[in-house]
């Protein structure tokens, strides 16, 4: 909001808007610092591993109490998803949360749950944090598990919460927000806007199998804070080549990174942009930093 007031104020020469924007940006930085300090000071270490309680400053481990028996054990799955969705949590803290959830039955096959079922309707926050911090294997486990186990066959309707024990079958009923989880996280998989930096990621979290030889990935008119984005990736791995075409919006002012997650551990070793050699790519991760120019960008990546 502060940056919006700054931009509007400068555009229309309204000094009060610029001043308010400056104040909000400063307060945001102060608030973020307070949040980071609060999380660090709330960590418990008395059981050998760092543990983040569900309530700031609490000295209780939520799994010591029956589910929803007290505030500290109320709804750990909801806290974790909302914390990861905030966009300002460090990777170190995300790793602590994920390690605890895996060890203490707050997660099943990659999705946060409520100790008996997995939660299908608010869990997109978990996916957001995993993509943001490049925990792509965890994200893909989440993604396919949600598709295969949280939806009914044929109608693709999603439950609110899902009990994996089909003999017990204590799944909750249909709930509207669960229907949009997979569409939302698919968009983030393909087009992800970094919440802390002006960085636009393209194909950051796609499965490697999507770029097997002869396959394509395509996106049309995906909304971003800079405008709509188009791209297409064509795999010709049998020829040692992957081609891509990216269209950035007019006035694009961020940094665009195209990732090529290739099957079989393959990595790119040479990139041409418009027929010219590009030095700005990460061979280890197959990330290609594109020129920040609006219009069509043609890429050839050699494997």
Strand segments (E) across the chain = 107-108, 111-112, 118-119, 161-162, 191-193, 199-202, 216-222, 229-236, 241-248, 255-259, 270-273, 276-277, 281-282, 287-289, 295-302
Angle between helices 76-85 and 124-132 (to 10 degrees): 40
- Cβ-count burial 238-262 (b if 16+ within 10 Å, e if not): eeebbbbebbbbeebebebbbbbbb
Residue 278: CB atoms within 10 A of its CB come to 17
pLDDT for 68 equals 86
pLDDT for 72 equals 86
Question: Which residues are CB-contacts of 86 (< 8 A; sequence separation ≥ 6)?
Answer: none
The 10s digit of each residue's pLDDT in 256-285 is: 999 999 999 899 999 999 889 888 788 888
- Spatial strand order of the sheet with 276-277 comes to 216-222, 229-236, 241-248, 295-302, 270-273, 276-277
What share of the chain has pLDDT > 90, as a percent? 71
Residue 277: CB atoms within 10 A of its CB come to 8
pLDDT for 260 equals 96
**What is d(CA 72, CA 66) in angstroms, rounded to the nearest whole number?**
10
**What is d(CA 245, CA 233) in angstroms, rounded to the nearest whole number?**
7
Residue 51 has pLDDT above 90, yes or no: yes
**What is d(CA 273, CA 10) in angstroms, rounded to the nearest whole number?**
35
What's the whole-model pTM score?
0.93
Mean pLDDT value of segment 17-37: 96
**What is d(CA 122, CA 135) in angstroms, rounded to the nearest whole number?**
19
pLDDT band at 159 (very low <50, low <70, confident <90, very high): confident
**What is d(CA 77, CA 108) in angstroms, rounded to the nearest whole number?**
11
DSSP for residue 21: H
Per the CB < 8 A criterion, the answer to whether 50 and 43 are in contact is yes
The 10s digit of each residue's pLDDT in 173-218 is: 888 999 999 999 999 999 999 998 999 999 999 999 999 999 999 9
**What is d(CA 193, CA 185) in angstroms, rounded to the nearest whole number?**
12
Closest CA to 32 of 89, 91, 85, 81: 89
The 10s digit of each residue's pLDDT in 219-231 is: 999 999 999 999 9
């Amino acid at each position: 909001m502060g940056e919006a007031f700054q931009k509007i104020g400068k555009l229309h020469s309204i000094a009060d808007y610029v001043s308010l924007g400056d104040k909000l940006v400063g307060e945001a930085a102060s608030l973020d610092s307070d949040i980071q300090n609060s999380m660090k000071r709330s960590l418990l270490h008395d059981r050998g591993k760092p543990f983040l309680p569900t309530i700031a400053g609490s000295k209780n481990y939520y799994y010591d109490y029956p589910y929803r028996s007290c505030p500290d054990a109320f709804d750990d799955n909801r806290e974790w998803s909302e914390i990861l969705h905030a966009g300002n949590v460090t990777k170190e803290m995300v790793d602590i949360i994920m390690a605890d959830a895996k060890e203490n039955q707050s997660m099943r096959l990659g999705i946060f749950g409520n100790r008996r079922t997995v939660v299908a309707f608010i869990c997109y926050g978990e996916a957001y944090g995993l993509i943001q911090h490049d925990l792509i294997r965890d994200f893909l486990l989440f993604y396919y598990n949600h598709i295969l186990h949280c939806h009914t066959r044929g109608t693709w309707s999603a439950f609110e919460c899902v009990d994996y024990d089909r003999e017990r079958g204590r799944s909750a009923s249909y709930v509207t927000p669960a229907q949009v989880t997979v569409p939302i996280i698919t968009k983030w998989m393909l087009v992800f806007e970094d919440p802390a930096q002006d960085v636009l990621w393209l194909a950051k979290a796609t499965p490697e199998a999507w770029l097997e030889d002869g396959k394509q990935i395509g996106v049309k008119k995906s909304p971003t804070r800079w405008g709509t984005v188009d791209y297409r990736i064509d795999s010709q791995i049998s020829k040692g080549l992957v081609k891509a075409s990216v269209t950035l919006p007019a006035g694009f002012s961020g940094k665009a990174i195209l990732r090529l997650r290739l099957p079989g551990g393959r990595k790119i070793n040479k990139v041409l942009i418009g027929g010219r050699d590009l030095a700005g790519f990460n061979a280890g991760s197959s990330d290609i930093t594109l020129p920040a120019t609006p219009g069509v960008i043609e890429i050839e990546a050699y494997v």
